[in-house]
Amino acid sequence: MDLSYLLTHFGEDREHGFDAVVPPIVQSGNFTYPTVAAMRAVVQQEMDRPLYTRGFNPTVGMVRKKLAALEHAEDALLFSSGSAAIAAGVMSFVQAGDHIVCVQKPYSWTKKLLVELLARFGVEHTFVDGTDAENYRRAIRPNTRLFILESPNSLTFELQDIAAVAAIAKAHGILTLCDNSFSSPLFQNPIDLGVDLVAHSATKYLNGHSDVVAGVLAGSAAHMRQVMSREFMTLGPAPSPHDAWLLMRGLRTLELRVNRSADNAAQVARFLEAHPKVKRVHWPGLPSHPQHALALRQMKRVAGLMSIELDAPDEAAVERFCDGLQRFLIAVSWGGYESLQWPVCALKGPSGYYTELPFTMVRLYVGIEDPALLIADLEQGLARM
Ligand SMILES: Cc1ncc(COP(=O)(O)O)c(C=O)c1O
C-alpha cells in the first residue's frame, strides 16, 4: 500500500460515512441494534464493532487501522495519551514478582510508572545504559519478562541497537516494547527490527497540531486483544471520537510535516554545532553524534528534536538566551507546526528527575516554519546570552 493512500483513504469506510470525503465524527457513547441476535454478535466482537465507546468507536477504529498499517503491526489501540498507551502495554505483560529492564533516562512518566507505580505492585526494574545492547543481556534475571526501549530517548538522544536488543530478548523469551514517538512510524519501524510492541505519544508528530493528547500501542492481534480485554477496558483510557478525528486529520499531512521538520532540524543542528556559544548538540543526524552510524542504519531519517548545551556561565545567561527567542515557544511537548524550547533549568523541580542533566541544556523542537527565520532567531538569542 502506498503511503499517500494509507494516510488519506485507507480504513475510512466511505460507504458507511454518507460518502463524505472527510469521514464523520461518530460522537456517540453507545450503539443500538435491530435485534437481540444482532447485539449478541457485536458483544462477541467488542474490539472491532461498536457497542460502547470505551471499547470501540467507528471513528477511533478508522485511526486504529491506519496506525497499525503505519507501524507494520497486525493491530493497534488508540489511547487518550501516550503515557496511557505505555502504561497499558507494560502492565499487561507483567505481574507481581516479575522484572523489567528499561533503558536509562526514558520519558519521565515511563520512569515513574516503573519506580513509583509498578514497584508498589511488586514489579522490579533495572535501568541500563542502552548504548550497549549487551547491558540488557547483563541485566536479565530469571524473572525478567519485559525490555523497554526508547530509541532515541527524547532528552539526551541516545540510541539503542533495536535489532540487537530484540534478538537478546527473543533468545530469552522476553517481550520488548519500544517508544517510537521521536521518529514517528515514517522514520523508524521497530516491529521490522524484531520488537513486539510499539508505543507512541500521538500527541507529537502523529497528530502534529498541538491540539490533541493521544497515544498508540501497536503489535500482534493477540497482544492487542490481551491489552484490550484487560487494561484497556478496566482502566478506561479510550480517546474521544473527536480527538481521534483530529488525529486522522493530522495524519493526512504526516509525510509533509515530519520531512519538513527533519529538513529544518538538519539546518538548525549544523548552524548550532558551528556556533562558539554552543558547547554540544545532541542530535543523531550529525556525523559528530557518537551513534550516527547506528542512526543511519536503523532510522530512515532523524526527526526534528534535539538538545543543546550552551556555553553559559550561569542560569541567568541560559534565561537570557531562552527569553530572547522569538520563534521558539517555551513549552513542553513537540511535533506540531511551531518550534519549541524546553530549558532543563525550568523543569528541575521537586520530582528530581532532571538533576542528572546540566543546567545549560535546552531541548529544541524544530518545527516546520521557514528555517532561515529559525536560524536568525537562534543567532540573536545566542548574541543576547
Ligand atoms: C518520548 C515520549 N514518550 C511518551 C510521552 C507521553 O505521551 P503523552 O504526553 O501523549 O502522554 C511523551 C510525552 O511528552 C514523550 O515525549
**Do 181 and 324 reside in the same domain of the chain?**
no
Distance separating alpha carbons of residues 78 and 61, to the nearest angstrom: 8
Asked if 303 and 243 sit in the same domain, the reply is no
Among 251, 286, 320, which residue terminates a domain?
251
Q: What is the CATH number of the domain that holds 181?
A: 3.40.640.10
Nearest atom within ligand 1 for CA of residue 333: 14
Q: Cβ(105)–Cβ(147) under 8 Å?
A: no
Please indicate, yes or no, whether residues 244 and 348 belong to a single structural domain of this protein.
no
3 state SS for 16-64? HCCCCCCCCCCCCCECCCCCHHHHHHHHCCCCCCCCECCCCCHHHHHHH
What is the largest distance, in Å, between two alpha-carbon atoms of the chain? 73
CATH of the domain at 264: 3.90.1150.10
Catalytic residue list contains 98:
no
Walking along the chain (385 residues) 10 residues at a time, the average pLDDT comes out as 92 86 95 97 95 97 98 98 98 98 96 97 98 98 98 96 98 98 98 98 98 98 98 98 98 98 98 98 98 98 98 96 98 97 82 75 97 98 97
Same domain, yes or no: 247 and 260: no
- Which residues line the pocket of ligand 1, CB cutoff 6 A? 81-83, 107, 154, 179, 181, 201, 203, 213, 215, 333
In the block, which residue shows the cell 507483567?
Answer: 94
Same domain for 183 and 218: yes
Q: How far from 4 is each of 12, 252, 380, CA to CA, in Å?
A: 13, 8, 39
The C-alpha atoms of residue 245 and residue 238 are separated, in whole angstroms, by 13
pLDDT of residue 15: 80
The CA 81 to ligand 1 mean position distance, Å, reads: 8
Residues 103 and 49 in one domain: yes
Chain centroid offset of residue 324 CA: 29
116 and 139 both lie in a single domain? yes
* CA 204 to centroid of chain Cα atoms: 7
**Which residue has 453507545 as its cell numbers?**
30
Q: Which three cell numbers stand for residue 288?
A: 559528530
Instruction: Give the separation between CA 206 and CA 78, rounded to whole angstroms.
Output: 12
Q: How far apart are CA 265 and CA 305, in angstroms?
A: 7
So what's the pLDDT on residue 351?
A: 54
Q: What is the pTM of this model?
A: 0.97
Same domain, 102 and 137: yes
Q: Is 5 a catalytic residue?
A: no
Interatomic CA distance for residues 165 and 102, integer angstroms: 11
> How far apart are the CA of 362 and the centre of ligand 1, in A?
18
Pocket probe mutation, ligand 1, options 181, 197, 365, max atoms within 8 Å of Cβ: 181
Ligand 1 atom closest to the CA of 85, numbered from 1:
11
Q: Which of 98, 105, 107, 354 is catalytic?
A: 107
Q: Are 251 and 7 in contact (CB under 8 A)?
A: yes
Last residue of a domain, one of 226, 251, 276: 251
Identify the domain boundary among 251, 283, 315. Answer: 251
Burial (CB count <10 Å: 0-12, 13-18, 19+), residue 30? exposed
Asked whether residue 246 falls in the same domain as residue 307, the answer is: no
Could you tell me if 219 and 315 lie in one domain?
Answer: no
Query: Which atom of ligand 1 has the smallest separation from the CA of 215?
Result: 10
Say whether 300 is catalytic. Answer: no
d(CA 312, CA 187): 34
Asked if residue 53 and residue 169 are part of one domain, the reply reads yes
Of 168, 175, 105, the closest CA to residue 344 belongs to 105
Q: Which protein residue's CA is at the shortest distance from atom 7 of ligand 1?
A: 82
CB 303 within 8 A of CB 205: yes
Residue with the nearest Cα to atom 8 of ligand 1? 82
pLDDT at 91: 98
Any catalytic annotation for residue 204? yes
Distance (Å, whole) CA 43 – CA 29: 15
What is the domain count for the chain?
2
Is there a single domain that holds both residue 165 and residue 66? yes
Fill in the amino acid letter for 356: E
**Rounded-to-integer distance, Cα 216 and Cα 83, Å:** 9
Domain range for residue 338? 254-384
